[in-house]
Structure 1
Amino acid sequence: MSCTAKGSELARTVEALISPGKGILAADESTGTAGKRLESVGLPNTEDNRRALRELLFTADGVEKFISGVILYEETLFQASSKGTPLTKELADRGIVPGIKVDIGTVALVGSPRELYTQGLDNLRQRCDKYYAAGARFAKWRAVITIDTAAGLPSPAGVRSAAAGLAAYAKVCQEAGLVPIVEPEVLADGPHGIDDCEAVTHEVLSVVFRELAIAKVQLETILLKPNMIVPGSKGPAATPDAVAAATLRVLRRTVPPAVPGIMFLSGGQSEEEATKHLELINKLGGSPWYVSFSYGRALQASALKAWSGDAANAAAAQAVFIQRAEANSQAALAK
């Protein structure tokens, strides 16, 4: 495929992903993380149970009204449904774009072991080609940033390494025909307040976009998946209005208008908090980007509990999932 053709396809994929009122379902939990979710409702961590949960979500009646894309784990990309249909086809038949998580987790950063470095650049182009052939049209790479003001974290080296990894990944994906979701997550763990989160997120996003420019990544065909500006899990509480105002302030100061869409991660928020904050951010308005959601647990938690592995509960669980998806769709539309 020529560079021009790839560029056109990337643009079409972005357009599909930022359809008004729609967002992205993050169903890319690793085998271990998926197991923890299943075990929370008394289910063993088996491939069949992981497939059953994802099939439950992907085939919910009306899901395509609110979900434009789904981020898959590699296992899911190559799985078939209980009917024998590839799960990617189940999505594509509903007009939902399949995506793929391409990082392979984190390790301690050399020289700063309390910070994490995301792995996965080795053989990334070959893997992207394989994923594209399997039907994926966008990708995700998550870099994590830890706040510990007493310890001077994040360090400049930690921020730079995270940003450089994201930029290198994004460039490879675009060359392979996959729209890269750039996800620098400032973690909400710890006792820090909302002001610390704002300052660190401002720094991180500034460095990320500098590295994207150095790597010559085309901003028009990426999506940004940032954290909202929230206090640490053990920090002083902040009002939803304060979260929305701080989040939009940081984005306006750091994210170029060429970026077409910002799809927030939920970052440890409850389902209701993630929806409320998204609504308030959009009600403030005045942003040049489409602002929506790319949630995992904040879309799945109640549906998982309602299902609990019992086929008799499937319809009720799907209804709960659709209710959450519709609520976030309305929030993306500032309704």
Structure 2
Amino acid sequence: MSTSKDELSANAKLFKTPGKSILAVDESISTVKLPCCEDNEDPRRAYRELLLTPPGALRSLNGVVLSEEALHQKTEHGKPFVDVLEENKVLVGITIRGNPVAWRGLDGHPQKFRQHREARARFAVWGDGPVTDASEPSEDAIRKQAKELASFATCCQRGGLIPIVYPKLSFDKTPSTSNPQAGQRDIPGDTLRVLRETVPPAIPAIVFLSSGQSEDEAVIAMNNLKVSKPWSLSSFFGPSPQQRTLKARARNDSPHSPQDTRRAQKRPRGTNKGDLQPGEGTSKSPYHKDYKH
């Protein structure tokens, strides 16, 4: 299956849509020990249905990252989750596992990426990408990581998928900054300064991950990016806005209960204008040691 550059470009530009963000649905299944982590597909399906199917649940999203299981999974009533997303004009993403050697088939091409595209995925993130120590990143480590990320991006594009490329950092140690009192207002500014010096304006969008922050912390950090910049800014939420849904899953709430509909409608909304809405925010961080996206 061939994919034109125009189609890839058009899909990538959807990440520039104001008021929209990306949600990593299955990230919390492996990082939060709740019933959805059981070695049983039914609880995982119920969790995804709880998160994606209530009315209004997808209105603030332009992309959702699924696991390979979820990419081929259906709701309790037999509707593929991919259909749920496409009907709401949400791009389907896939988490890629493994390494560049494992991705290539006998012909030397990234067959797995094409298979994901045939299953209607349109973008990808690398779940097992290289990790750099954020406290003392060496030049060699940065170059190695950049080379491996470039390989991932190339495989994505050859397979017809948009690559979401991001450097993974280990935060088990506190990274140093020029200002020892640096807080949430300083770090976004420092990040933007580095991005202006290194990222060309032709890049469609810069997407900030919530990482190990709480929902409220992630919203505050994005709101502190209200400055002039050459690209669109958006957000990529993992466990942060899913805490209420995970707790609801632990209580076995119905996916379509009035309470969960309100939860879904109040999910933080991404924007390239810096006016995220925290909704029913939670201040508890979902950080876990050796956390992986």
CA contact (8 A) 1:77 1:100 kept: yes
**1:144 aligns to 2:131 (yes or no):** yes
Q: Which has the higher contact order (CA 8 A, sep 6+)?
A: 2
Alpha-carbon spacing, 1:41–1:300, altered in 2? closer, same or farther (3 Å): same
Q: Per-residue displacement from partner, 1:112-146 (whole Å, max 9, x unpaired)?
A: xxxxxxx2442341101110100001111243211
- Cα offset for 1:318? 4.2
CA offsets, 1:19-41, max 9 Å, x none? 11101001243xxx61552x346
Alignment partner, residue 164 of structure 1 = 147
Deviation at 1:17, TM superposition (A): 2.7
Whether the aligned pair in 2 keeps the contact of 1:43 and 1:309 (CA below 8 Å) is no
| Structure-2 change in CA distance of 1:189 and 1:177 (3 Å) | same
**Amino acid in structure 2 at the alignment position of 1:291:** L
Q: TM-score, normalised by structure 1?
A: 0.73
Structure 2 counterpart of 1:173, which letter?
Answer: C
After the TM superposition, list the runs of 4 or more consecutive aligned residues in structure 1 that deviate by more than 6 angstroms: none
Determine if the alignment matches structure 1 residue 103 to structure 2 residue 97. Answer: yes
Whether 2:253 is the aligned partner of 1:323: answer: no
- Could you tell me which amino acid in structure 1 is paired with residue 242 of structure 2? Q
Please tell me whether residue 46 in structure 1 is matched to residue 40 in structure 2: yes
Could you tell me the percent identity over the aligned residues? 35
> Which segments of 5 or more consecutive residues in structure 2 lack a partner in the other structure?
105-109, 276-293
Shift in Å, 1:314: 5.1
Contact 1:103 1:120 in 2 (8 A): no
5+ long unaligned stretches in structure 1: 105-118, 197-235
For residue 22 of structure 2, the aligned residue among 6, 21, 24 is 24
Counterpart among 162, 170, 192 of residue 179 in structure 1? 162
Aligned partner of 1:289 among 222, 228, 231: 231
Normalization by structure 2: what TM-score?
Answer: 0.82
Instruction: Tell me which residue corresponds to 2:288.
Output: none
2:113 to 128, 143, 146: 128
Greater helix content: 1
CA distance in 2, matches of 1:253, 1:164: 19
Question: Residue 43 of structure 1: CA displacement?
Answer: 6.6
Q: Provide the rounded CA distance (Å) in 1 between the counterparts of 2:72 and 2:29.
A: 17
* Secondary structure at the counterpart of residue 266 of structure 2: helix
1:280 equivalent in alignment to 2:224: yes
The separation in 2 between residues aligned to 1:178 and 1:19, in whole angstroms, is: 19
Total equivalences in the alignment: 267
1:245 alignment partner, one of 185, 189, 192: 189
Cα RMSD (Å) of the superposition? 2.3
Provide the C-alpha distance between the structure 2 equivalents of 1:267 and 1:332, rounded to a whole number of angstroms: 18
In structure 2, distance between residues paired with 1:137 and 1:42: 26
Equivalent position of 1:301 in the other structure: 243
Cα distance in 1 for partners of 2:156, 2:120 equals 14
Contact 1:264 / 1:294 at 8 angstroms: preserved in 2? yes
1:103–1:121 contact (8 Å) kept in structure 2: no
Shift of 1:18: 2.3
SS of 2:185's partner is: helix
- Distance in 2 between residues matched to 1:42 and 1:82, nearest whole Å: 15
User: Which residue of structure 2 lines up, in the alignment, with residue 69 of structure 1?
Assistant: 63
